[in-house]
Structure 1
Amino acid sequence: MVPSTRTPSVAIVGAGMSGLCMAIKLQQAGITDITIYEKADDVGGTWRDNTYPGLSCDIPSRFYQYTFAMKPDWSRFFSPGGEIHEYFSGVADTHGLRERIRFGTEVLGAEFVDDRWRVRTSDGRTSEVDFLISATGILHHPRYPDIEGLDSFGGAVFHSARWDHDVELAGKRVAVIGTGSTGVQIVCGLADTAGRVDMFQRSAQWIMPFPNQRYSRAAKAAHRRFPRLDELTYRTYMKTFEFFARALVKPGWRRRLIGAICRANLRTVRDPELRRALTPDYQPMCKRLVISSRFFRAIQQDNVELVTEGIDHVEPRGIVTADGVLHELDVIALATGFDAHAFMRPMNLTGRDGVTLEDAWQDGPRAHLTVALPGFPNFFMLMGPHSPVGNYSLTTIAENQAEHILGWIRRWQSDQFDSVAPTQQATDTFNAEMRAAMPDTVWATGCTSWYLGKDGNPELWPWTPDKHRHALAEPNLAEYDLRVGNRVATEPAVR
């Protein structure tokens, strides 16, 4: 590649895990004209917003971290949420990112004009950059249930991502609506402090038991003294996850083994009626697998009740279920998830020739190789549509995507093109290949989950994570519309 001759300006939307990763990768490459727009007042994204009792990551600590910022002294096998937020905050400080972040500033829209992105923000300002990168994440727009009378409840009501720590929970009657990972963690976090916990279940979940052990002083000291241990542990986890990831995308013994472990775990529930109520009617892993070694113990406590009757309405005293029973409550916690298909929306994007994001995504979010959109030159996404987010480390995915994006910016620096976007044909072919591969995945075996798009098909990477890494590392330049000004870049210029 020829030496760099141009200095790019880059705007990153979001100062969460992936946005910080992208900014650091750019800095390490010597690119310093970087602006990060963050609508909140701190870094950390989902780990900033979520602070509910029992919060932890469901990916091992030594795998859920950046390879360029290994932490030797994680407290547990699965890190608590506060510790993860401290980690990302510390990384931002170490790499001097806060001076590049415009906190309290939301990007309202952006338009591609004369080979540059014109960015409009909530403070009324407009700026122009060469590259626009969305790092808004996938779990940041809370989804609130449409329950009659919810606003009439006499106690406290809040979403899990908007937890109200001013509300006293000790000895109180708490309802948890939702049974996914968040609901399970909240029940485990409250079972020993709340007076009573009612968990309202619409569908049962498969639970994979995995003890969350504390790391010993000796283990932390060893990782501090021998940094290679961090690298070795990370690589071991990555290879292990990728080995068992075949269970998600292909039938076989791995899928049967994980299913057998989940079913054996379910048999630890002693009460046969409760066990039946907790038994899902779909295959393990069809929904995101819930990782917990405590939930089945918690749900069997005397002060914890599983409610399987549907919610009819809410009144000032509590929740009334379809059988007419009033469940009197002091607090209602909504563990009802997020709009996982919003991505960077409601930000308005207008690409080349006036095409808008709403036009491009009228049939649902689509992308090329999870990171780019036809008709939107010099625009990239981290954790974009079809990313391999099913029970895998998102930090690893973010690093792979950031390296891919950095590769394009480096090509731009060396004058290989002025603008780049995937072709519509390449994007259509990629999406057709994904649809063809999807029937083999466990997500297509028959369940309702946030993995499904508006057409009922899963919107995930239907192959193993290592295939995603290799595809991003070796892009086929023939699949891209590379232009110099308004001209298509000639073949010799692309090298």
Structure 2
Amino acid sequence: MTSAGNASFKVAIVGAGASGIATAVYLQRAGMAFTVFERAADVGGTWRDNTYPGLSCDIPSHLYRYSFAPNPEWSREYSPAAEIHAYFRGVAEKLGIIDKVRLSSEVTRAEFVGEGLWRITTTQGDEGLFNAVIAATGVLHKPVLPDIGGRDSFCGVSFHSSRWNHDVVLAGKRVGIIGTGSTATQILPAIVDEVESVSLFQRTPQWIISVPNNEFSEEKKRAFRKEPQKMAELYDHLNNLFNRRFAASLVGENDEGLAEMARACRQNLEDNVHDVKLRRRLTPSYQAGCKRLIVSDKFYPAIQRPNARLVDTRIMRIEPPGIRTNDGLMHELDVIVYATGFDPFAFFRPAVIVGRNGVSLNERWKESCQAYRSVAAPGFPNLFFIGGPNSPIGNFSFLRTAEVQIGYVTELVKLLSEGAHREVEPTEEATEAFNAEVEQAIKHTVWVTGGCKSWYFDKQGKVVSWPWSYGRFEADLKQPRMEEFKAA
């Protein structure tokens, strides 16, 4: 089915990860023609790329799913990665999205050519003209390697956690993990029983909240299958708990909730790390919530195993035998895992996006990535972002926030497809006003007041997240305010 009023209208969706699949579903339901361009040979985004041991989601299963595709078959309260990847692929297949995905077709260039049209070029060549482009490239997809001298000199095997080398047998090996975020705290417990030793190189300790990852009983699954309303009620409950109450505590609107979270983290540390010196080394100096909170009931027991070592002396360099720390010690290793995260400001890159008057988005975002309400930028008509600058990225369900953005963007694209406008883009004034408001509001969030540096900060020292409640996010993106757009 094509959109009533404009049968030739076409949309390009960049990326077939979680948000790209959802965008395709929304456009399909709106009756619009689209093509999804995906760089890899399969759909699934981050859940396709990340396959490291112990990987599971840190958002509850029944919240980390599409609103339109409840799943009674989740095996655990926090789903393992392979299950999540299978879920996304299954949704894409069931709803007929998979047939509209061009795999192994990475978008290298998107150029606005006027008259409301964009020319898309991929690694397969010129893909033609499209009336709108939706960049659904995700937030965490470009791996970051640490700036440590001698990385290439290591004689053993090394790789980033998101490019896990499954050919390497870890049994009996001396493994070093660089990093202490969610990834490292999942990998270490998963491998500690099979390796000879595992050394965790910690630059900054993390606050960890203990939540058991219980299995769903067959009885519970049967109840979900029989009464889908139970899943809907659970989804609403979890959405309120995570995306509203917890979100409010991070942005200065629920001080009691923030204090309660801090108490739970500290209690977890005191109850589960018995060695006083080790406990001190694992105690952060910043406020809980300042960095993305880690959910794990396995890390503290694992780091206290006889063959596990916490190394909190700074790394000097990497040498052929292993890692040398600033105290002169050489930590001899067979494998180094870089659990050092991603560049959250990569967005669509390395693709080149060229807007009106030949100005690229890279030029516009040279100093800082700024958008209008996280979804669009002046000078780039009919270009929209899912997960763009200032999206809520701190301990929320990305799927829920993505759907809010997708619903908003779909309304704008409908105006184009129905012929109400040929081009829409936010005004400079509205974009500047929004970002000025963000800059003031962000000062009152725990990311700024909590005393830490995190991946939420860009190179200019600005926190690029949503500084208000989740309720405001939903309200702001409920319906486009056309007075803040320039339409032709």
Q: Aligned-pair distance for 1:237?
A: 0.4
Query: Greater shift after overlay, 193-202 or 118-127?
Result: 118-127
| 1:244 matched residue in structure 2 | 246
Gaps of 5+ in 1: 484-495
| 1:488 matched residue in structure 2 | none
Taking only the aligned residue pairs, the percentage that are identical comes to: 47
Q: Distance in 1 between matches of 2:469 and 2:181?
A: 23
Deviations 1:28-85, CA, capped at 9 Å, x for gaps: 1122x21111110000000000000010000000000001111001000000011100
In the alignment, structure 1 residue 451 sits paired with structure 2 residue 452 = no
8 A contact 2:412–2:480 mirrored in 1: no
How many aligned positions are there?
480
Q: Aligned-pair distance for 1:455?
A: 1.7
Q: TM-score, normalised by structure 1?
A: 0.95
Deviations 1:190-232, CA, capped at 9 Å, x for gaps: 1222121100000010001111111111100000111111111
Q: Distance in 2 between matches of 1:239 and 1:147?
A: 42
Deviations 1:150-207, CA, capped at 9 Å, x for gaps: 2121211000000000100112111010000011111121122212110000001000
Deviations 1:124-173, CA, capped at 9 Å, x for gaps: 22410001010111111100112222212121100000000010011211
Deviations 1:77-127, CA, capped at 9 Å, x for gaps: 000011100100111111122221111111111111121001111122241
Query: Greater shift after overlay, 98-107 or 69-78?
Result: 98-107
Q: Aligned-pair distance for 1:459?
A: 0.6
Q: Aligned-pair distance for 1:315?
A: 1.7
In the alignment, structure 1 residue 257 sits paired with structure 2 residue 290 = no
Deviations 1:457-486, CA, capped at 9 Å, x for gaps: 211000112211111112211100011xxx
Q: Aligned-pair distance for 1:425?
A: 0.4
Q: Distance in 1 between matches of 2:79 and 2:297?
A: 14
| 2:106 matched residue in structure 1 | 106
| 1:56 matched residue in structure 2 | 56
| 2:446 matched residue in structure 1 | 442
Q: Aligned-pair distance for 1:308?
A: 0.5
Picking from 410, 414, 423, the partner of 2:414 is: 410
3-state SS of 1:397 partner: helix
Q: Aligned-pair distance for 1:236?
A: 0.7
Aligned runs of 1:412-427 on 2, under 5 Å?
412-427=416-431
Q: Aligned-pair distance for 1:397?
A: 1.0
| 2:135 matched residue in structure 1 | 134
The one-letter amino acid paired with 2:469 is T
Deviations 1:324-382, CA, capped at 9 Å, x for gaps: 11111111000001111110012111111222112211211111111111110000010
| 1:306 matched residue in structure 2 | 310
3-state SS of 1:440 partner: coil
Q: Distance in 2 between matches of 1:405 and 1:471?
A: 12
Q: Distance in 2 between matches of 1:473 and 1:366?
A: 20
3-state SS of 2:443 partner: helix
The one-letter amino acid paired with 2:380 is F
| 1:66 matched residue in structure 2 | 66
Aligned runs of 1:329-408 on 2, under 5 Å?
329-408=333-412
In the alignment, structure 1 residue 199 sits paired with structure 2 residue 207 = no
The one-letter amino acid paired with 2:204 is S
Q: Distance in 2 between matches of 1:173 and 1:125?
A: 48
3-state SS of 1:421 partner: strand
Q: Aligned-pair distance for 1:415?
A: 2.1
In the alignment, structure 1 residue 118 sits paired with structure 2 residue 119 = yes
Q: Distance in 1 between matches of 2:409 and 2:384?
A: 7
In the alignment, structure 1 residue 317 sits paired with structure 2 residue 321 = yes
Q: Distance in 1 between matches of 2:417 and 2:48?
A: 35
Q: Distance in 1 between matches of 2:168 and 2:300?
A: 26
8 A contact 2:411–2:479 mirrored in 1: no
Q: Aligned-pair distance for 1:414?
A: 2.7
| 1:267 matched residue in structure 2 | 270
8 A contact 2:179–2:338 mirrored in 1: yes
3-state SS of 1:443 partner: helix
Q: Distance in 2 between matches of 1:432 and 1:141?
A: 28
Q: Distance in 2 between matches of 1:352 and 1:78?
A: 44
| 1:473 matched residue in structure 2 | 478
Q: TM-score, normalised by structure 2?
A: 0.97
8 A contact 1:4–1:410 mirrored in 2: no
Query: Greater shift after overlay, 465-474 or 211-220?
Result: 465-474
Q: Distance in 1 between matches of 2:4 and 2:100?
A: 23
8 A contact 1:16–1:44 mirrored in 2: yes
In the alignment, structure 1 residue 228 sits paired with structure 2 residue 229 = yes
Picking from 427, 433, 437, the partner of 1:433 is: 437
3-state SS of 1:473 partner: coil
Picking from 270, 282, 292, the partner of 1:288 is: 292
Q: Pairwise CA RMSD of aligned residues?
A: 1.1
3-state SS of 2:190 partner: helix
The one-letter amino acid paired with 1:163 is W
Q: Distance in 2 between matches of 1:192 and 1:27?
A: 47
Q: Which runs of structure 1 show a deviation greater than 3 angstroms over 4 or more consecutive aligned residues?
A: none
Q: Distance in 2 between matches of 1:133 and 1:358?
A: 17
